[in-house]
Amino acid sequence: MKAMKHYDDNLEKYLTAIFGTIGSLAIIINLFIKGWSTENIMDGLVNLAGLLVTIVVFLIAMKTVSRLNYSNFKKAFEEYLQEWIDQNRYLIDEVKRKEGKENKEFYYMLTKPHHNNVVLQEKIATDFPIKEGFVWHKGVFLYTDFKETEEITIGLNKSFFISKRGGELPKPFKELKDIANEFGERIKEHFEDKFEYVNKPDSGIPIKISEDGTRLYISIKKIVNTKDNAKIAIDMIEYVKTLIIALA
């Protein structure tokens, strides 16, 4: 995977070197055939200039297509996400659960009573059951939907913030949506200026919050589809995880 990833990163360099070498050799061979007269040399220089212009246009086109190709972001995001899950395996369930008609991938976070597992490391999050009776051991923290909507969805559950059923949320929050709204503001403050956007006037992260406050829908339609932006998106997920742990 890393070898292929390295190849993809240097594809433009390889193609430029190949086309440049072939074009230059063709010009030199043509000079040997026609002769090294001043007129032929000037024609060769004109052809070389045309070749360089063609290569530059090709590189610009390749970069433009790459920046607008959502699959590039998706591939890099999923690779970074797997690394992040591996680093957080004592808190985040690394098993992808595809549920429902929308075929979204779900990732779970342990509930508040188990947050100390990050330190104790008694067992990885995957080994915890989702629920036993009325007791929740983990809830949906993240799910991705790359097929229909270009967005990252953060899941919030009361069990992330309270230790027992019927318990109260941390003060001053009265409802889960209050927490979701606060999280949305913190995300915008910390990450709006870090992403690269397709159009500079569009700089901003549209975030919608569900009526019950259990979902933050973070749109990534306006950002450039680059590996750097994919890494920033993972940093954003890590930041939200930190907010949850800090508030719990």
Give strand ranges (E) for the chain.
92-99, 104-110, 131-132, 135-136, 138-145, 151-155, 207-209, 215-219
* pTM of full prediction above 0.85: no
User: Distance (Å, rounded) from C-alpha 202 to C-alpha 131?
Assistant: 42
Q: What residue ranges do the domains of the chain occupy?
A: 2-68, 70-247
pLDDT digits (tens, 9 = 90+) for 126-161: 899 888 888 888 888 987 765 556 788 899 999 999
229: three-class secondary structure by DSSP: helix
Distance of CA 198 to the CA centre of its chain: 15
pLDDT digits (tens, 9 = 90+) for 3-12: 333 334 455 5
User: Distance (Å, rounded) from C-alpha 185 to C-alpha 191?
Assistant: 10
Q: How confident is the model at residue 68, as a pLDDT?
A: 46
Q: Which residue has the higher pLDDT, 196 or 191?
A: 191
